[in-house]
Amino acid sequence: MLRNNCRSQYETFIRKLPKTELHVHLEGTLEPEMLFRLANRNRIALKWKSPEELRNAYYFQDLPGFLEVYFKGCEVMKTAQDFHDVTRAYLERAEEDGVVHAEVFLGPQTFLAQGVPLEAIMDGMFGAIDEMRGRISCFYLSSVIRTRPESEALELLELLAPWHDRIAGFGMGGAERGNPPSRFAGYYRECRRLGFKTTVHAGEEGPAEYVREAVEVLRPDRIDHGKTAESDPELMKLLAEREIPLTLCPVSNLKLNVIRDMAEHPLKKLLDAGIRVTVNSDDPAYFQAYVNENWLACAEALRLSRADLRELARNSFLASFLPESEKRSWLAQIEAFSEK
283 in contact with ligand HPA (CB under 6 A) = yes
Nearer to Zn ion (CB atom), residue 199 or residue 315: 199
Binding interface with Zn ion (CB under 5 A) = 282
b/e string for 84-94 if b means 16 or more Cβ within 10 A?
Answer: bbbbbbbbebb
Q: Which does 63 bind (CB under 5 to 8 A by kind): ligand HPA, Zn ion, none?
A: ligand HPA
Distance separating alpha carbons of residues 261 and 259, to the nearest angstrom:
6
Minimum distance from CB of 252 to ligand HPA (Å)?
6
Query: Rounded to the nearest whole angstrom, what is the least distance from the CB of residue 286 to Zn ion in the complex?
Result: 11
Q: Residue 251: helix, strand or coil by DSSP?
A: helix
The size of the interface with ligand HPA (CB under 6 A), counted in residues, is 11
Cα separation, 147 vs 172, in Å, equals: 10
Q: Which of 14, 63, 138, 141 binds ligand HPA (CB under 6 A)?
A: 63
CB of 145 to ligand HPA, least distance (A): 8
Largest CA distance in the chain: 58
H/E stretch holding 25 reads strand 19-25
- For the annotated catalytic residues, the residue numbers are 204
Q: Which residue is nearest to ligand HPA (CB)?
A: 173
Q: From the list 32, 173, 181, 203, which residue makes contact with ligand HPA (rule: CB under 6 A)? A: 173
Nearer to ligand HPA, 199 or 327 (CB): 199
**How far is the C-alpha of 283 from the C-alpha of 29, rounded, in Å?**
6
Helix (H) or strand (E) holding 89: helix 80-96
Give me the least distance between CB of 311 and ligand HPA, in Å please: 24
Q: How far is the CB of 337 from Zn ion (least distance, A)?
A: 28
**Which positions ≥6 away from 274 have C-beta within 8 Å?**
240
Closest to ligand HPA by CB, 197 vs 201, is: 201
Measured CA angle at 272 (ends 269, 276), to 5 deg: 100
Among 82, 230, 282, 293, binds ligand HPA (CB under 6 A): 282
CA distance 68 to 81: 24
Say how many CA atoms lie within 13 Å of 210 toward its Cβ.
24
User: Is residue 174 at the binding interface for ligand HPA, with CB under 6 A as the rule?
Assistant: yes
Closest distance of CB 142 from ligand HPA, Å: 13
| Contacted by 252, from ligand HPA, Zn ion, none: CB < 5 to 8 Å by type | ligand HPA
103 binds, among ligand HPA, Zn ion, none (CB under 5 to 8 A by kind): none
Which one, 31 or 282, has the nearer CB to Zn ion?
Answer: 282
Convert 16-42 to b/e letters by CB count within 10 Å (16 or more is b).
Answer: ebbbbbbbbbbbbbbbbebbbebbeee
Task: Indicate the residue among 137 and 281 with the shorter CB distance to ligand HPA.
Answer: 281
- Per the CB < 8 A criterion, the answer to whether 104 and 139 are in contact is yes
Report the distance separating Cα 297 and Cα 241, nearest Å: 28
Name which of residues 203 to 242 contact ligand HPA (CB under 6 A): 204
Q: Is 30 in the site for ligand HPA (CB under 6 A)?
A: no
x/- map, 67-86, ligand HPA, by CB under 6 A: ---x----------------
- Judged by the rule CB under 6 A, the positions of this chain that interact with ligand HPA are 25, 28, 63, 70, 173-174, 201, 204, 252, 282-283
